[in-house]
């Protein structure tokens, strides 16, 4: 089993500890409450397509999760992102995406098929990263684990959560159902799902269909007025409340 | 202008002050933080059909709003509810509703038309109550005012908010669009709207259509898995967060 190799440590803001790491060569970052002594729950965060582990959306959400929730938060760079090697498939799809955007054509079909192939590579990387993170004494092998990712973070998150029983609560959103409705139906943990009501890329019916597909008994849709990139910041606070509810006060498992 | 006549005062729980009142003969209840000295924002709550101002759903939400938000919370009994006189129309519709339920027929059409007529009577009562409550020194004439009501509380709330510029934020949900989509389109204040994804009374498309109808630039749909009466309790906490955001930190009004 691979272990976490820490490569740098900083204090980007009061109360926040930031450690860069690699697991089997995959670069990641772990944010933690500064000065925490006991074990705290872990939230894995998946970044969106074309961004990276320290994109402002990631650092902003991480800071809220650490400060307001007291969680550890880990992000890894997705395959082909932030200087990680591009496959021939990545190169073709990035070119196709740029062409579609330049021509004003829909990007959905390209994003959907490309993210499905990125997810195939990303899921085993996440599982190895989780194995390694759980060896740290401040996280531990039995602690609660959540997942938070929108856009490509959902394209990777859905097959990851479907495969990974250690993840017991997830905040997802902003994707098409085509390639992920199948694994979404196998997910039974509590899910909070964000979509934008006026999304110019993902048709409203497609977003609602993916929410509908989750097998979870407890699932909540948060649909906000606005376009694709206008997810309101208060959804980050809502995610903190969701993870606090599920990772800090898990409901008792009913006797079967 | 009518004023608030207080008729009883109790302390139902630590930190909570409960005062029964009437305004022009309409009975209400005002919950407040015990020992509060300055002015605090006011949340008006509308109860559901067939219930009353101190129904458990009302007292539970009020307690959270007072304790976690520091708000004043007022509820009045709707016309024809809690011993208030029934009109001939009320009597006919209550009988029609009981018949439909006994026969296993849809109740929606009866609820929709009856609640529209209750709302015609309730809106002026709410406005007179708000006039009177704003004369109290602990609320004041210029303080922020929100509205929170589901089911019949939404059937009354939508025309009330459309008519009432003093209400600047609202949590609504669980109604059909038929009679209220028109006034909903004239509402422009922030709205959080709850619906149940598996509602056995309100078809999913009807619930989504009403959310779509609101004219508000900031609107958020919270759709939860479950049947009509299974709205999760955490939605009450979410309402506290929403009102705290809007009644305690209102966004600056842009220069037009």
* Mean pLDDT in residue range B181-198: 98
Inter-chain residue contact A238 with B238, CB threshold 8 Å: yes
Are residues B223 and A211, on separate chains, in Cβ contact within 8 Å? yes
Q: Which residues of B touch A222 (CB under 8 A)?
A: 220-222
Interface of B with A (CB under 8 A): 197, 208, 211-212, 216-225, 232, 234, 237-238, 241, 245
Contacts of A36 (CB under 8 A, 6+ apart): A70, A138
pLDDT at A252 over 90: no
Give tens-digit pLDDT for A110-156.
999 999 999 999 999 999 999 999 999 999 999 999 999 999 999 99
Least Cα separation, residue A185 to chain B (angstroms): 14
A-chain residues within 8 Å CB-CB of B221?
Answer: 197, 221-224
What is residue A246's predicted lDDT score, i.e. its pLDDT? 97
Taking 80 as the threshold, does the pLDDT of residue A191 lie above it?
Answer: yes
pLDDT at A20 over 90: yes
Which of B219, B223, B234 has the CB atom closest to A245's CB atom? Answer: B234
Cβ contact (<8 Å) for A197 and B216? no
List pLDDT tens digits, range B65-114: 999 999 999 999 999 999 999 999 999 999 999 999 999 999 999 999 99
Q: Is A106 helix (H, G, I), strand (E, B) or coil?
A: coil
Does residue A176 register a pLDDT over 60? yes
The DSSP bridge partners found for residue A150 are: A173
What is the CATH superfamily name and number for domain B5-86+119-248?
Alpha/Beta hydrolase fold, catalytic domain (3.40.50.1820)
Look at the block and give the residue holding tokens 């490309």. A114
B252: confidence class by pLDDT, cuts 50, 70, 90: low
Predicted pLDDT of residue B253: 54
**Which of the four pLDDT bands, split at 50, 70 and 90, describes residue B256?**
very low
Interval B186-200 mean pLDDT: 98
Q: What are the boundaries of each domain within chain B?
A: 5-86+119-248
Contact between residue A158 and residue A188 where contact means Cβ atoms under 8 Å apart: no
In whole angstroms, how far apart are CA A121 and each of A52, A78, A156, A159, A163?
Answer: 16, 9, 9, 11, 14
Q: Is the pLDDT of residue A253 over 80?
A: no
CB contact set of B73 (below 8 Å; sequence gap of 6+)? B30, B31, B32, B42, B43, B44, B45, B61, B62, B65, B66
- Nearest Cα of chain A lies from the Cα of B216 at a distance, in angstroms, of 8
Q: Which residue of A has its CA nearest to B238?
A: A238
Asked whether the predicted pLDDT for residue A45 surpasses 50, the reply is: yes
Per-residue pLDDT band at B36 (split at 50, 70, 90): confident
The dihedral formed by the CA atoms of A62, A63, A65 and A70, expressed in degrees to the nearest 10: 120
Contact B225 A238 (CB under 8 A): no
CA distance A156 to A51: 14
Name the residue of chain B whose CA is nearest to A223's CA.
B221
Residue B35 DSSP one-character state? T
In chain B, % of residues over pLDDT 70: 97
* Mean pLDDT within A174-191: 98
Angle, CA A101 vertex, CA A98 and CA A106 arms, to 5°: 120
Assigned CATH class of A5-248: alpha beta
Q: For residue A221, give the DSSP letter.
A: E
Cα distance from B220 to chain A (closest Cα, Å)?
4
Q: Count of CB atoms within 10 A of residue A37's CB?
A: 7
Maximum Cα–Cα distance across chain B: 57
**The pLDDT value given to residue A121:** 98
Confidence of residue A256 (pLDDT cuts 50, 70, 90): very low
8 Å CB contact of B222 and A217: no
DSSP conformation class of A247:
I
Q: Is the pLDDT of residue B165 over 70?
A: yes
Flag whether pLDDT at A249 surpasses 80: no
Q: How many CB pairs under 8 A join A and B?
A: 53
Strand pairing partners for B193?
A: B172, B221
Query: What phi and psi, each to the nearest 5 degrees, are found at residue A159?
Result: -65, -30
């Amino acid at each position: 089993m691979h272990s976490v190799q820490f490569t740098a440590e900083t204090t980007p803001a009061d109360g926040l500890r930031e450690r860069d790491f690699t697991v089997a060569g995959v670069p990641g970052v772990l944010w933690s409450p500064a000065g925490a002594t006991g074990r705290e729950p872990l939230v894995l965060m998946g970044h969106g397509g074309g961004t990276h582990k320290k994109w402002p959306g990631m650092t902003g959400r991480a800071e809220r999760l650490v400060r307001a929730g007291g969680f550890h938060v880990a992000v890894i760079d997705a395959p082909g992102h932030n200087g990680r090697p591009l496959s021939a498939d990545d190169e073709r799809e990035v070119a196709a995406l740029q062409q579609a955007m330049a021509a004003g054509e829909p990007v959905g079909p390209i994003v959907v098929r490309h993210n499905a192939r990125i997810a195939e590579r990303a899921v085993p990387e996440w599982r190895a990263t989780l194995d390694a993170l759980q060896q740290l004494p401040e996280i531990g092998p039995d602690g609660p684990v959540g997942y938070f990712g929108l856009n490509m973070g959902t394209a990777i998150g859905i097959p990851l959560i479907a495969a990974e029983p250690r993840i017991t609560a997830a905040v997802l959103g902003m994707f098409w159902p085509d390639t992920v409705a199948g694994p979404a139906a196998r997910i039974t943990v509590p899910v909070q799902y964000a979509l934008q009501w006026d999304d110019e890329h993902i048709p409203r019916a497609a977003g609602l269909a993916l929410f509908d597909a989750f097998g979870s008994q407890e699932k909540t849709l948060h649909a906000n007025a606005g376009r694709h990139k206008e997810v309101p910041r208060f959804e980050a606070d809502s995610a903190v409340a969701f993870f606090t509810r599920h990772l800090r006060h898990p409901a008792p498992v009913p006797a079967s």
